[in-house]
Amino acid sequence: MDFGLAFSFPFQDEEWVKKVVLTAVISLIPLIGQLALIGWLVELTRRVIRGDAEPLPDWADFGGILVLGLKMFAIGFVYALPLMFLAIPMAIVDALVDYESAAAIYTIVTMCFSCFAVIYGLALAFFVPAAVGELAATDNLSAAINPANIIAHVRAAPSAYLLAFLGTIVAGFLSGFGIILCFVGVILTAVYASAVQGHLYGQAYLEATNA
> Tell me: the pLDDT tens digits for 62-80?
999 999 999 999 999 999 8
Query: What does the buried/exposed string (b/e) look like for 166-205 if buried means 16 or more CB atoms within 10 Å of the residue's CB?
Result: ebbebbeeebeebeeeeeeebbbbbbbbbbbbbbbbbbbb
Q: Rounded to the nearest 10 degrees, what angle do helices 32-50 and 16-27 cross at?
A: 150
Q: What is the pLDDT of residue 102?
A: 60
Q: What is the pLDDT of residue 166?
A: 93
Which of 7-16, 148-157, 174-183 bottoms out in mean pLDDT, i.e. has the lowest?
174-183
